[in-house]
Structure 1
Amino acid sequence: MKGQTGLMASIRNWYRPRAFLVKCVAIGVVLAFVASACLAQLVAIQLIDGQTTAQAATQSRTQKVVVHSMRGRILDTNGTVLAQSVERYDIVGDPWAVSTFSPIDCGTTKAKQAGFCHSVNGKPVGLKGSAAVARMLAPVLKMDAKELGAQLTGTGRYVVLKKNVTPTVKRAIDDMHLGGVVYGLLTSQRVYANGTQLGALLGGVDDSGKGVAGIEQMKNTLLTGTDGYVVYQRGNGGEEIPGTTTATKAAVNGSDVTLTIDHDVDWYVKQALKEGQKKTGAAWAIAVVQEIDSGEILALEDTDDIKAGSDQAKLTTSRAVSETFEPGSSGKVITMSGLLQTGLHKATDKFTVPYSFTKDGQEYHDSSQHGSERWTLAGIIKNSSNVGTVMASSRYTNKQRYEFLTKFGIGQSSGLNIPGESCGQLGTPESWDGRTSNTVLFGQGYSTNALQLTNVVATIGNKGVRRQQSLIKSVTDANGRTETLPEGTSTRVIDEKVAADVKDAMESVAESYSKVVSVKGYRIAAKSGTAEVAGSDGRLTSIVADFTGVIPADNPKFAITVVMKDPKGTYGGMTAGPVFAQIGEFLMQKYNVQPSSPRKNAIAVDW
């Protein structure tokens, strides 16, 4: 028994140190396995996933920022800016970042370390998060602090606080050191220089900067630039990390469009129209000024008070191109042109003209009672006789009547491509009834607009050659290359001698109005017109009065048309005529036009 006890003790003594060794080895093996696993994971992160992780980190810092292009300018013929885009900024907040914002009080160690501090009117902000940022921004953005705080509250990353602020406001916000919390995005704002002048004609752009009306729409493709971009990495404060730019594309600004419009002339024309409207009580008035040699439109105005770029301008077409009307007796110059060009009559042919005249069961009469008058064809035009015009046209076929109306541009587009332009209405000879076939001789039974009517008299002033009217003078791209648009087509409508005789008759018309329509030192050749049009009740209860012509008559430089709706005084010569003369006088002075020579050898109007 004693021997067994000793044996067991010997065994325990032998096993105990060895068991401890086994445990140590086991623990060592486990630790070695854990270390190996950590090493393997470290190797995987550093060598296998390292590139992917680095790329993910880089991507999280990388931002592609759009570099906005500027829309091209619209200029007048002398380079005066009518419309342009100016530098503006949209102020954007990051609500998620704002929630963690804690202002740094001035004078603290933290402020010294950061190199900046936050305050409101020199005092500590006193708040944190959205309330603090709102309190700082409110005075600069001129907004309510509570409203700003509400916008800046949330988990989103992007909210526009205010659009189109000036660079001055943007710099003031930059000085607040809110980088990564609030920042400005470069954009632009379309501004117009002249209030209601050319308002509807210039039109406007939508929120995206696209032209939606007027010239802005008409030349949108040219005016629109191409945005660029820059790709770089941002720091925690939202700032660009130097040297991290990886890709760029320069923005290309839109082209500048230069009009034929002369700002000074157009301004004066609008004032003259306003004065004429006030004197006559007209519902509205329109005027066009065209340079005869070139066909360029120098002024295109009306009395509407519409500001360029306004919602109204975006929804309204310029009355000067959209309003159509019967020209009334002004249309007789087309009839005289056709009668002379076809050889049916000479300007000196003699007629005995009664007050009223019946043809094919239809009665025609003049505007005022008179006995049988002995007038030449030129006298019929001077006295604006409907009866004489119908009598003189007995052999003038419907086909010829239609032919010369269309040759002069009646019922056709001006070719200017202005959005909303109305071409008027001119039926075909087959559609004319027995009365309409004669009323078209004296400007009724069809409608026209002020641009068309202006080009009729400009054609006569241009020795019978009709020029394509133009409104766009040139286009200058972002690199400064200017392309002057080619002149439009020219078409001979009537012979030079015919044009001279018609102009002579028109000069006799102007002389008959010399007490109210005159420009000292300059001769005028013109025609007045008055036509009944539908009123608000749908019946022929309204009047359109017009006066259109060229000045100087002996060497025509400009064609002018003035149109009025429901003026007191009714007749075009008495209402629209004085405005014509006022505009004509300004043109003669502005362009220093040589005075007219005395009139000689006028075509007889009586016999």
Structure 2
Amino acid sequence: MRSNSPRQKTPVVTASRPARGRSPEIQRKERERAREQRRKQRAQRNRNTGPIGFSLSRTRVLSGAIVFVLLAVGYVVRLADIQLVQGAELAARAKELRTTEIELTAERGDISDRNGNPVAKSVTRYKIFADQELVQQWKTKDDAGNIVGGPDYAAQILAPVLGLSEQKLQTLLTRPEGQKKYNKYQTLVTEVPPETWEAVKQLKITGVFPETLNKRIYPSGDTAKNIIGVVGKDGGLSGLEYTLEDMLKGKAGSLKYERSLDGYVLPSGSVVEEPNEPGKGIKTTFDMDIQWHAEKALDEQLKKTGGAAGSVIVQDVKTCEILALADRSTTADGNTAFTGRIGAVQDIFEPGSTAKVITMAAALERGEVTPLSEFRVPYQYATDNGQVFKDSHEHPTQKLTLTGILADSSNTGTVQVGEKLPKQVRYDYLYKFGFGQKTGIELGGESRGILHKADDWDGRTKYGVLFGQGMAGNALQATNVFATIANDGKQCKPHLVAGYTEPDGTFVESEKSETTQTVSKKTADQVLKMMESVVVEGSGKAGAISGYRVAGKTGTSQAPDENGKLTRIVSSFIGVAPVDNPEIAVSVVIRDPRSGVWGGEVSAPVFADVMAYSLQRLGVEPTGSKPDLYSTTWK
């Protein structure tokens, strides 16, 4: 049965309000139990709470542990990749970043004349510069044992060595007031000789450094300078310095070293040096004494005649070596100078009467004539196609032999001789003797001249070429024609280089060019004897030389001006000597002379001067025989 009596409630024990009717002892114990219960509850809560108060479940703790392990593994893998896999590559890249490479410039080869005298050579010079910061920090002891140094003392001991004032050096070595940074590359002097740098080095000034320079000097001054050429920053600019650049420049080397961030060499770093290779030394065929004399004679004649420009060539007829090549132009003030242009090979002109030698040689070689063949030579002559030609001077009809036609330089007589030659033969002989093609001389810008094909000649040109009109060549081509005649009809290649010297001192001669038998020795001897009459009896008497037999030919032709009109004159004389044993050929070309126009008057005197000097310089004995000339006239 359910009791009807009221249910008693269980008392709640609290720390703040003890149940009434309890003893103090019981109340105390109940409070202690309550405190212990609360302590346990707090401890339980702390076991499920993170370090910053967040509640961490078992899953979160496990996830965190996995992430930590993965990060640790990734770090270890990356470290292993860097050290073991990429280590060598990264080390190489780091070394590359701190490695500096300096080019070791090769010393340029020297150029010498045929006798070994230097005409162009490289010398070592130094540029001396300073690091202002290092000089500021520099300290040393003087003779008395005192501590000295800095810019002022450096300037004091450098001044007498460099030839500069102390005040100027102090300014150069000291950082300007108000400027934050030091000048790390302050130039003190440039182009001083090695002995000056050696003296500076003995002073042991920290912060003063050299920079090596290769300077090109020309011991012969301006003599042959247009042929030798000049050198610029990047190599040869003209003359042989330009055309022989590959042989002269050598091969640059290199120096690689490791340096610190402030630019100093790392003592423990690697140093790799690839030595440079000096250029080859070039030995030319020039005789500088003959060259100097040729230039002097040309200068004097240009001033005397008022010529605009000119050239003189001296060539060995047997080897085709060029012994001298003078080339000058007249400046606005009337003086002469070289211009860097070599007109003797670059400028062309109608050879005029000097080309008559080729017509005579062709006719003789083909058996059409002999040196004594007889011709009636009028002042004016008309060809079958109506072309009219005249001689330079009016005269009655003359009875001249083939030799007489050449000696008097008759245009009308030459045309009559040339009529015996087919048009193609005329072209073939002009080409065989070198016109219309380059000689191959070791100079830049050589012109091949103008020689149109025979089929392209008009009605007048096919006769004009017989006496050097309607075609053009340079002075060297014309000179080689006469050298060929003097060399028994054998033609060779004119050249300026005798050979070269390897860096180890071995001398290598230039390859000898093959000779071509242009005409027979018999024809060459006949033409040479005919040319002797030009000097003895004809238009070239001013080319005679005492003690030597000389053969030559005068030439006068027109040349186009800047507008293409034939208003300019080219006067020339080309000859060989001695006739009984030819050694050298000399050509003289004067452009636009004002005192006269004929080659025998303007150019022949220079020929005689240069030829006489050259023969004596080369030790050629005077002629031991007398001329045995062909008759120039007939009855």
Shorter chain as denominator, the TM-score bin is 0.7 to 0.9
Secondary structure of residue in 2 paired with 1:118: helix
**What displacement does 1:351 show?**
0.4
Q: Distance in 1 between matches of 2:276 and 2:167?
A: 28
Tell me the amino acid that sits aligned with residue 340 of structure 2.
Answer: T
Q: How does 1:219-368 map to 2 (within 5 A)?
A: 219-231=244-256, 246-304=271-329, 316-359=340-383, 360-368=385-393
> What is the rounded CA distance, in whole Å, between the counterparts of 2:567 and 2:167 in structure 1?
55
Cα 1:188–1:122, aligned 2, differ >3 Å: closer, same or farther? closer
* Distance in 2 of aligned mates of 1:143 and 1:543: 60
Structure 1 alignment gaps of length 5 or more: 5-43, 126-135, 307-311
Of stretches 596-605 and 502-511 in structure 1, the one that deviates more from structure 2 is 596-605
Contact conserved, 2:307 with 2:592, CA < 8 A, in 1? Answer: yes
Paired with 1:270 and 1:396, the residues of 2 have a C-alpha distance of 40
- 1:140-539 correspondence runs (5 A): 145=171, 154=181, 164-171=191-198, 173-174=200-201, 177-179=204-206, 181-208=207-234, 210-231=235-256, 246-304=271-329, 316-359=340-383, 360-511=385-536, 512=538, 516-536=542-562, 538-539=564-565
Decide whether aligned partners of structure 1 residues 491 and 122 sit closer, same or farther in structure 2, where only a CA change above 3 A counts. closer
Structure 2 vs 1, CA of residues 162 and 508 (structure 1 numbering), >3 Å: closer, same or farther?
Answer: same
* Counterpart-to-counterpart distance in 1, 2:519 and 2:91: 81
Q: Secondary structure at the match of 2:283?
A: strand
Cα 1:149/1:285, change in 2 over 3 Å: farther
> CA deviation digits over 1:244-266, x for unaligned, max 9?
76432222111101111111111
Q: Within 2, Cα distance between the matches of 1:146 and 1:113?
A: 19
Cα deviation code 1:366-392 (max 9, x no counterpart)? 000110100011110000000001112
Q: Displacement of 1:140 after TM fit?
A: 9.0
Task: Give the aligned partner of residue 155 of structure 2.
Answer: 120
Q: What is the RMSD of the two structures over their aligned residues, measured on CA atoms?
A: 4.3
Do 1:138 and 1:144's aligned partners in 2 also have CA atoms closer than 8 Å? Answer: no
Q: Could you tell me how far apart the structure 1 residues matched to 2:110 and 2:530 are?
A: 44
Cα distance change, pair 238–87 in 1 and its aligned pair in 2 (3 A): farther
8 Å contact from structure 2 (residues 540, 600) kept in 1: no
Larger of the two Rg values belongs to structure = 2
Aligned residues between the structures: 552
Q: Deviations over 1:490-518 (max 9, x none)?
A: 00011111111111110000113575322
- Please give the secondary structure, in 1, of the residue aligned with 2:566: coil
Counterpart AA for 1:200: N
In the alignment, is the contact (CA less than 8 A) between 1:355 and 1:370 conserved in 2?
Answer: yes
Q: Residue by residue, what CA displacement relative to the aligned partner does 1:554-601 show, whole Å, maximum 9, x if unpaired? A: 110001100001222211011110100001111221122122133354
Please tell me the residue identity of whatever aligns with 1:118. Y
Q: How far apart are the structure 1 equivalents of 2:544 and 2:493? A: 29
Q: Deviations over 1:187-222 (max 9, x none)?
A: 2111122232222222222213x2232211211111
* 1:545 alignment partner in structure 2: 571
Letter paired with 1:101: Q
Following the alignment from structure 1 to structure 2, what is the Cα–Cα distance between the partners of residues 221 and 575?
Answer: 41
Equivalent position to 2:607, from 560, 563, 580:
580
Q: Give unpaired runs (5+ residues) of structure 2.
A: 1-23, 29-78, 332-336
List per-residue Cα deviations over 1:337-383 (Å, max 9, x = no partner): 11111112111110011100112221100000110100011110000
Indicate how the Cα distance of structure 1 residues 113 and 231 shifts in structure 2: closer, same or farther if over 3 A, else same.
farther
Q: Which amino acid aligns with 2:123?
A: V
What is the aligned partner in structure 1 of residue 6 from structure 2?
A: none
Q: Deviations over 1:436-469 (max 9, x none)?
A: 1111100111111111111100000011111121
Higher mean displacement: 64-73 or 340-349: 64-73
Write the deviation string for residues 46-99 of structure 1: whole angstroms up to 9, x where unpaired: xx99x999999999987544432201011111111111111023445557x46x
- Whether the 8 Å contact between 2:254 and 2:275 is mirrored in structure 1 is yes
Distance in 2, matches of 1:157 and 1:497, equals 77
Structure 1 residues 240, 177: CA separation in 2 closer, same or farther (over 3 Å shift)? farther
The 3 A distance-change label for structure 1 pair 459 and 55 is: closer
C-alpha distance in structure 1 between counterparts of 2:392 and 2:187, whole Å: 66
* Superposed CA offset, 1:401-438 (max 9, x none): 10000000012101124111112111111221111111
Provide the rounded CA distance (Å) in 1 between the counterparts of 2:157 and 2:486. Answer: 73
- 1:526-580: CA deviations, max 9, x gaps? 0000001123554222110000010111110001100001222211011110100
Q: CA deviation at 1:183?
A: 1.8
| CA deviation after TM superposition for structure 1 residue 238, in Å | 8.1
Distance in 1 between residues matched to 2:239 and 2:166, nearest whole Å: 36
1:148 to 1:558, Cα distance in 2 relative to 1, 3 A: farther
Preserved CA contact (<8 Å) 1:116 1:177: no
What is aligned with 1:16?
none
